[in-house]
Amino acid sequence: MNGKRIWFFSFLCFSLAATTQAALVFEKTTVDLNPDMNASTAVAVFKYENKGDTLVHIKAVKPSCGCTTAALAKNDVAPGEKGEIKATFTIGDRSGLQVKTISVETDDPKAPQTVLTFKATIAQALEVTPNFVFWQAGEAAQPKTIIAKAGKGVTIKKVDVTSSSGDFTAKVEPGSTAGEFKIQIQPKETTKPLNASLTIKPDVTPAKVYYASARVMPPGTAQP
């Protein structure tokens, strides 16, 4: 009899545990962002609702990175009340896929922490690969190629490249497809350490400048 009671009690606990859910429910916990190419920020909005029957207090909203700020209109969410957390991501010089998280801490024992994620794809008008070329000391002073390619949906007909140093020459040639350019970088010599910054200007509006670097290593530098 005693054993049956324990079994019944266990079943009851299990059933209750299985049916409980957090009071604060987010519409989505992951958001994909595709900011405009010239945008300086991207904004992700996470909508929530208190589906429980008690007030929920949002104790903290913590972004994973200093590049993101999270704004919350109010910390206390009454039962049935809706609201949103607005995360503003500063793009800066970032590129490619950026995955950032925001941790939301509440006094709800069922869900003390929820992690919100946004994935921002930062497109570039011009993709420069590699953005660095180097020569070992004594290596043949042959040109090395940097490929500059127009981003998706961008038309680029011309690219100008200037070197900060006369020790390197930069020559632009058409690439294998429209919108692609081969930038040939060549050092005058490789017997002494040299370096230069390369400024790459595509004919896009608004004007945008990209950079690459070139370097001749000092004698005695080990191979990778």
Partner 1 sequence: MKALLRQSVALLALALLPAAVQALYLRDKIPWQSRVAESDLVSVEVARSWGANALWVDARPVDEFERDHIPGAVSLGQDHWSELLSQFLEKQWSPEKKIVVYCSAESCNLAEDVARRLRDESKLPNEIRILKGGWEAWLAKK
Q: Does 38 engage in binding with partner 1 (CB under 8 A)?
A: no
Contacts (CB under 8 A) with partner 1, residues 89-118:
90, 92-96, 98-101, 103, 113-115, 117
- Binding residues for partner 1, rule CB under 8 A, total 46
CA atoms within 13 A on the CB side of 95: 10
Instruction: Name the nearest CA neighbour of 149 among 119, 172, 165.
Output: 172
Find where tokens 């590129």 sit.
Answer: 95
Q: What is the DSSP string of 34-61?
A: ---TT-SEEEEEEEEEE-SSS-EEEEEE
Indicate if the alpha-carbon torsion angle 14, 16, 22, 25 is positive or negative. Answer: positive
| Residue window 154-193: x/- pattern of binding to partner 1, with contact defined by CB under 8 A | ----------------------------------------
Q: What x/- string results for residues 16 through 35 when contact with partner 1 is judged by CB under 8 A? A: -xx----------xx-----
Query: Judged by CB under 8 A, which of 21, 38, 129, 155 binds partner 1?
Result: 129
Task: Give the C-alpha separation, 106 to 54, whole Å.
Answer: 12
Note the residue count of the chain.
Answer: 224
Interaction between residue 215 and partner 1 (CB under 8 A) = yes
Rule CB under 8 A: choose which of 69, 131, 163, 184 binds partner 1.
131
Per-residue tokens: 224: 């990778």
Q: Tell me which residues touch partner 1 (CB under 8 A).
A: 3, 6-7, 10, 14, 17-18, 29-30, 64-67, 90, 92-96, 98-101, 103, 113-115, 117, 128-132, 134, 136, 195, 197, 210-211, 213, 215, 217, 221-224
